Amino acid sequence: MKAAAIIPAGGIGKRMGLGTPKQFSCLAGVPLLVHTVRAFEQVAEISAIIVAAPMDYLQHTRQLIEQYGLYKVKVVTGGELRQDSVQAGLAHVPLECDFVAVHDGARPLISPELIRACLAAAQKTGAAMAAIPVKDTIKEVGADQFIVRTIDRKTLWQAQTPQVVRTDTLRKAFTAAAEKSFIGTDEASFLELINVRMSVVEGSEQNIKITRPDDLLIAEAILMKKEQPSTPLAAPSLRIGHGYDAHQLAADRPLILGGIEIPHPTGLSGHSDADVLTHALCDAILGALGAGDIGRHFPDTDPSYKNISSLKLLARVIATANEQGYTLGNADITVVAQAPKLAPHFPAMREKLAAVCRADQSAINLKGTTTEKMGFTGRKEGIAAHAVVLLQRQAD
Ligand code: MG
C-alpha cells in the first residue's frame, strides 16, 4: 500500500486570537504543524506528505519543514475553506499513491499507530476514518435556548482525522461537490454525496483539535505525560547524593554524633539534638532522591522537632527512599572536629546508623579529621560533617 497524506493547514485561525495562525503556534517548543507532520513521517506506507499552507505563510512553512528535517513534505498553497486546501493537495498526490489520508493540521497529537490503523481499515473497506463514540448526553436545542429533545447517543460518533480514502474515489467526490456547490467539513461528508460508505476506526481522546488557546495547554499536558513515562523502570538504578552540615558548640548541651552521646565539656546547639553527622547523612540521601534538604522536610520552626533525636529524622528519610524504591548502597561520612577524639565511638555509631538505614554496617564508613586548629572547627567553635551516599534501586 502506498498512500499520500494531505494536511490542510490553510486557515488563519481567527478563533485563537493569536498573531500567527494556530498551526504555527508552539507546543512544547515545537510548532503544531511540525508535530503533526512528524507523526506521518514515521509511517512507512506514507510516501508523500502535502501540506496546504496559507498563501502568506508559504515561505515560513517551507523554512520550518527544512529546519526540522522533514523529508517527505511538499508545501502547496491552501485555500480559505478546508476543502479548498484538500483539493489543492489532491492535485499534488503522486501517481503511485492509491490512497489519500487527510488529516487536520491542528491535530498535533495524532499517533503513527492510529494513522496505520486507519490505513489498514481503508485498505479493507475502501474508506476509513478515526472517530470516537460520544460520551456526553446530546441535546437538540432550539433557537429559544430550550431543549427540543435528547438524542440517543448510542449511534453517535465524533469525527476525527485522519480520514483515508482511495485517491480516485476522493477525486470523484470532490467533482460531485463542485457540481453541487457543496461545502463540507470533512471527507466523509463528501463521500456521502457519491454514496460511498466510510468505516470508522476507534480514534483517541488525545487526538484533540486545537481550536482555542486552552486546547494548547491541554495538548501540552498530554505531550509532557507521553514524554516522561513515570514507570519505575524508567528510574535510574543508582543515585548519588551529597550532604554538608555544621553546628555550633555550646557549654550547656550534650554532644550527640551518629546517634551516640559522647562525653565532652561542650555539645552542639540546634533545634533538634543537633547531630551534625546524621544531618549530613540525611541531606545526602534527600539529595540523591532529588528531594531537597532536611530543612524542607523538618523545618526548625516546627516545635515537634525540638530536641528530637536525629535518628528519627533519618528513619523518615530512609522510609522516603524506600517508598521511591531505593535502599542505601553505601555512605561515606567525614566529621570535622578538633576535639574530642571520635574514632573510639565510630563502631557504636555505625551500628546505630546501619540499623536505622536497614543496611549492613559495612555500607557505612565513618571518618574523622581535624583542621589543624584552623577555622571554626579548629578553634572548637563548632563541628562540621560531610556525607556522600549512593542509593540503589531495588529489583522490581
Ligand atoms: Mg543540622
Q: Give per-residue pLDDT as tens, 116-143.
A: 999 999 999 999 999 999 999 999 999 9
Domain 238-393 classified CATH 3.40.50.150? no
Domain ranges, ordered by start, for the chain: 3-227, 238-393
CA distance to 95, 210, 269, per residue, from 367 (Å): 77, 60, 22
Distance (angstroms) between ligand 1 centre and the Cα of 277 equals 8
Distance (angstroms) between ligand 1 centre and the Cα of 301 equals 13
Distance (angstroms) between ligand 1 centre and the Cα of 246 equals 6
Q: Closest Cα partner for 198 from 133, 98, 118? A: 118
Distance (angstroms) between ligand 1 centre and the Cα of 271 equals 8
Query: What pLDDT is stored for residue 178 in this prediction?
Result: 93
Distance (angstroms) between ligand 1 centre and the Cα of 344 equals 23
Protein residues with C-beta less than 5 angstroms from the ion ligand 1: 245, 279
Distance (angstroms) between ligand 1 centre and the Cα of 384 equals 9
Distance (angstroms) between ligand 1 centre and the Cα of 177 equals 77
Q: Are 385 and 336 in contact (CB under 8 A)?
A: yes
pLDDT digits (tens), the chain, 396 positions: 999 999 999 877 655 666 678 888 888 888 999 999 999 999 999 999 999 999 999 999 999 998 888 889 999 999 989 999 999 999 999 999 999 999 999 999 999 999 999 999 999 999 999 999 999 999 999 999 999 999 999 899 999 999 999 999 999 999 999 999 999 999 999 999 999 999 999 999 999 999 888 999 999 999 888 766 554 445 678 999 999 999 999 999 999 999 999 999 999 999 899 999 999 999 999 999 998 999 988 888 888 888 899 999 999 999 999 888 899 999 999 999 999 999 999 999 999 999 999 999 999 999 999 999 999 999 999 999 999 999 998 875
Whole-angstrom distance, CA of residue 1 vs CA of residue 123:
8
Distance (angstroms) between ligand 1 centre and the Cα of 66 equals 55
Distance (angstroms) between ligand 1 centre and the Cα of 295 equals 8
Q: Are 162 and 115 in contact (CB under 8 A)?
A: yes
Distance (angstroms) between ligand 1 centre and the Cα of 153 equals 63
Residue 304 CA, chain-centre distance (Å), reads 37
Q: Are 247 and 269 in contact (CB under 8 A)?
A: yes
Distance (angstroms) between ligand 1 centre and the Cα of 239 equals 22
DSSP string, 294-341: HHHHS-TT-GGGTT--HHHHHHHHHHHHHHTTEEEEEEEEEEE-SSS-
Distance (angstroms) between ligand 1 centre and the Cα of 278 equals 8
Distance (angstroms) between ligand 1 centre and the Cα of 247 equals 6
Distance (angstroms) between ligand 1 centre and the Cα of 275 equals 7
Distance (angstroms) between ligand 1 centre and the Cα of 263 equals 20
Cell numbers that stand for 282 in this block: 540525611
Distance (angstroms) between ligand 1 centre and the Cα of 373 equals 22
Distance (angstroms) between ligand 1 centre and the Cα of 260 equals 16
- Say which CATH superfamily domain 3-227 falls into: Spore Coat Polysaccharide Biosynthesis Protein SpsA; Chain A (3.90.550.10)
Distance (angstroms) between ligand 1 centre and the Cα of 76 equals 66
Distance (angstroms) between ligand 1 centre and the Cα of 280 equals 7
**Chain segment 173-223, per-residue pLDDT in tens:** 999 999 999 999 999 999 999 999 999 999 999 999 998 889 999 999 998
- In this prediction the pTM is 0.59
Query: What pLDDT is stored for residue 305 in this prediction?
Result: 84
At which residue does the C-alpha cell 481503508 appear?
122
Give me the long-range contacts of 224-231 (CB less than 8 A, separation at least 24). 224/28, 227/28
Query: What pLDDT is stored for residue 232 in this prediction?
Result: 46
Query: What pLDDT is stored for residue 228 in this prediction?
Result: 60
> If you ran DSSP here, which 8-state letter would residue 153 be given?
G
